[in-house]
Structure 1
Amino acid sequence: MTKLSVNVNKIATLRNSRGGNVPNLLKVVADIEEFGAQGITIHPRPDERHIKYEDARKLKKIVTTELNIEGNPIDKFIDLVLEVQPAQVTLVPDSVNAITSNAGWDTITHKDFLKEIIGIFKEKNIRTSIFVDPEISMITGAAKTGADRIELYTEEYAKSYEAGNKLGIQPFIDAAIAAHELGLGINAGHDLSLNNIKYFKDNIPNLLEVSIGHALICESLYLGLENVINMYLHKLR
């Protein structure tokens, strides 16, 4: 079975919007694990607009599955990962002001940089993954950095699937095959949803893990909304 790691950035965004501790991020994470998720993903950004660096420290103490910390390996991020020592770190080439991740690494241009950073994390036995586009050259480049895994950036797949073009998955199949042949584990994430996840999983060989946040939280709002409204109506009768 492909593992599900739930990205809880949106829970932190909602909490931060009111300045308090509702929803309680730690309680939500504990519930997500109790409901069966096999991992928790967080992506702290320099401005801490959703996940705060202190959240990462607290989550390390309570996560019982696998904690995956994503981010651009700036000095502050590297220090946090080395302090927290999650099960996995996923390197993402975000700009400081990025709303969300929007591209994979150029693993050829940044080979030496990535190799150095990955070496630092592997000294602490932290599994490393590189966020990449489904291009064979980028997969080959990732293998040369010493990374343990790649995370396929799946936005283009999601767009193609929504438009009715199932052939849009082919570059991802090719990338997964190449990665496996090079000894890389395969993760995937970005815009995966209940609508498109089964087709992706059924067609991507050796898929170890998917990281899903925005869609999963939005779907949870809708699929749970009827229950909550009826609970209020029951109490108001």
Structure 2
Amino acid sequence: MTAPIRVLVCDDQVLIRTGLVTIIDAQPDLEVAGECGDGQAAVDLAGRLRPDVVVMDVRMPVLDGIEATRLLAGAGVPHPVKVLVVTTFNLDEYVYEALRAGASGFLLKDAPPAQLLHGIRTVATGAALLDPEVTRKLVGRYATRIRPAEDPRHDIPLTPRELEVLRLIADGLSNSEIAAALVISQETVKTFVSRILAKLGLRDRVQAVVYAYRQGLAT
């Protein structure tokens, strides 16, 4: 049997944190490695417990979820931890900053339990979790902040088809939506996504979205 996915839950609201812990611990393939109520405690506990995934709130005392995410999963971190941000929709700017800080994805706090569990499992595999509709609104709203001041590259090492897939990723489409739009199989889409990430040296789908905006491939 494979070892369960070890999860650290960080939320300053005790009722929400208890609910998350209960839902996660009830799954045979998941295990709550620890829980805490602020970002600094999450950083400290993650260093000791080595969880596979941290479920992170955004607004918390001592150290907020964005800074905690940067310390756990940001660029240059020796042993980055996968972070799944759970927040409310009206905090979309904070979600944007969390993704820039290195989070592997985000969910809304009113998401059903099944979606939370799917999110944890998805992030644990190394994939990114982005809600397509929220992604369209989120990245579109902050596109001007994502683009750098200098001119974008014109020697992007992608085929025309890969560029097409990248643009659709930046539009917030899921693999199934991309497959339908291009009339190809989902497995083919997965292959394209893997090639795009490898060629561009990107970690996951989140970085692909940001890259597309930086290069002027999406608006």
TM-score range, shorter chain: 0.3 to 0.5
Which has more radius of gyration? Answer: 1
Higher relative contact order structure (alpha carbons within 8 Å, sequence separation ≥ 6):
1
* Structure with higher helix content: 2
Q: TM (normalized to structure 1)?
A: 0.35
Q: TM (normalized to structure 2)?
A: 0.37
